Amino acid sequence: MNRIVYIILILSFFSSCSSKKKLGGKSEGNQLSQKKENEFSSNLIEATTQKIIGNYDLAQELFLEGLKIEPKSAVTYFELSGIYDYKKEGNSAVGSAEKAVELNQENDWYKTNLAVIYQKYGMYEKSLALYKDLSEKHPEKHEYLFILAENYLILERKEEALVVYDKIQNLVGNSEELAMQKQNLYLQLGEIDKAILEIENLVKDQPRNAAYYGLLAELYEEKGASEKSLALYKKVLEIEPDNENIRFALYAYYKDKGEVEKSFYELTKAFENPNAPIDTKVQILLGYLKTEIPEVKEQGETLAEILVQAHPNDSKSYTAIAEIYLQQEKNTEALKAYKKSVSLDGNQYLVWNQIVFLEADMLLYDSLIVDSEKAIGLFPTQPLYYFFSGLARIQKGDYDQAIESLNIGKELVLENNQMLSEFYQRLGDAYHSKKEHALSDENYDQSLVLYPQNASLLNNYSYYLSEREEQLEKAEEMTKLANQLSPQNTNFLDTYAWVLFKQKKYIEAEEQLDKALLYGGNNSSVVLEHYGDVNFFLGNIPIAVEYWKKAQEKGSKSEFLEQKIKTKQYVNN
């Protein structure tokens, strides 16, 4: 049978049975004429039908028309309250629900509807008063009591809520829901003994439920009754030897007591259990990353290895052990673990970051090319991977491909001038390697505009210019700034000296090389050879030869060094 036809038949039956009665309840006023009654009944049926099928605007219009026929129809106001509530017209929903109750004060359903609407729109005191009235009228209906208690809780009247929960317990008996609610309230009120009693009653009802013993142990521990707490934890293990949470509880218990060996034993047992939540294990392992104590570091590695054995197919376990390895500077092992992690779950942006950073740091350029390209495939809008792809390709001599990657990546950088500066610097490096100096200078200049205090670039750029003997005044300004940003840097001091040397400022050059020798330049064949070059032009030929020989002893591969020593002359072509 069609659903709408069925609804209309039911409503028609109701209407025919009520034709001799006052529609909408006893308090709805004088009996209508038969004609008006039929008209009102038809209106009510049609309005209710439209509401049921979801035509709320038409239903509202019809119900309002019905009120013109019978202004004291409680059922009409009741139905209108539902429509107004659906349309989130709170004032109208409340007003209509109140009117329904006013017109038919014996109808508990109307009162319940009003109480629900009061609660929905934050009128908790009024809602509470209605539920209190309903629960007193129908003490056997625990549904009213539950909502009454809820209203008391909303109003922060915890003691009164507890009284209501006691009434519910007397009606329906002890239950986990009630006991947990009551023990939580008792804890909020600082009455821990009463909270314990609630859980003890649950234990009596279900003596094989391990969860109740665990909860009771936590309560005794909070109270300070450690021995009872420990006995209850052991009871849990008797019931459920593989309980995934109790080992963590025992770990925390022994840790608080300062019993390190027992605490670590329980923790290893928890980590060995594949059913114990991996997120909890990983969270505990994070604490081991903060330690500098060698013994504790070893424990962290042991736990991480157990984690991998317990969860061999979960990427989190490999990420966790990789972090432990990284802390211990076991970069090879860390990289292997990170790669295993992404093989199980490739969509880990932060793990891919660790992979490319490690490969760059370890100078694994072949792997860096492969993995940065994989990461680009997964995260095509992340500039970092284009940067590492370009960096690795420069190191492998694939300059054109490096330039292509870097140009794509720099367009993806948003509001990060330092990163963008890095892209331009690497583009400059690629063009410099191709000897396209105009383009390399252009990119280096742009990099310095974005990050003018890049000491490394200032040093390299000035050295390249000095080697080409171009823009030497600019080179001097840059190398001077590099040395201000990074004083006592032997390489930077040597570059500063070399730029001055190219300008024939030999005395100033010697001053910078003296500083370089003071800060470790005696171990640099380049610094030693340059010191000899400068002294040659200062007329100190014996000193020049002495330092050229020292450079040779340090393993210098300089093209003209041997000829300088033999001829005792400066040679550069």
Report the interhelical angle of 108-120 vs 74-86 (nearest 10°).
Answer: 20
DSSP letter, residue 116:
H
- What is the rounded radius of gyration, in angstroms, for the C-alpha atoms of the chain? 42
Tokens of 116: 């629900």
- Say how far apart CA 30 and CA 18 lie, in whole Å: 14
User: Are 75 and 24 spatial neighbours (Cβ–Cβ below 8 Å)?
Assistant: yes
DSSP letter, residue 546:
H
- Say how far apart CA 495 and CA 515 lie, in whole Å: 12
Per-residue 3-state assignment (H helix, E strand, C coil) for 160-211: HHHHHHHHHHHHHCCCHHHHHHHHHHHHHCCCHHHHHHHHHHHHHHCCCCHH
Residues of the chain with pLDDT under 70: 1-32, 573
Domain(s) of CATH 1.25.40.10: residues in the chain: 1-121, 174-241
User: Are 359 and 328 spatial neighbours (Cβ–Cβ below 8 Å)?
Assistant: no
* Greatest C-alpha distance within the chain: 135
Topology classification of domain 1-121: 1.25.40
User: Are 418 and 455 spatial neighbours (Cβ–Cβ below 8 Å)?
Assistant: no
Residue 8: predicted pLDDT: 36
User: Are 558 and 531 spatial neighbours (Cβ–Cβ below 8 Å)?
Assistant: no
List, in order, residues 6 or more apart from 269 with CB less than 8 Å away.
247
Q: pTM to 2 decimals?
A: 0.69
Residue 18: predicted pLDDT: 39
Topology classification of domain 174-241: 1.25.40
The SS3 assignment for 334 reads: helix
- Say how far apart CA 509 and CA 499 lie, in whole Å: 8
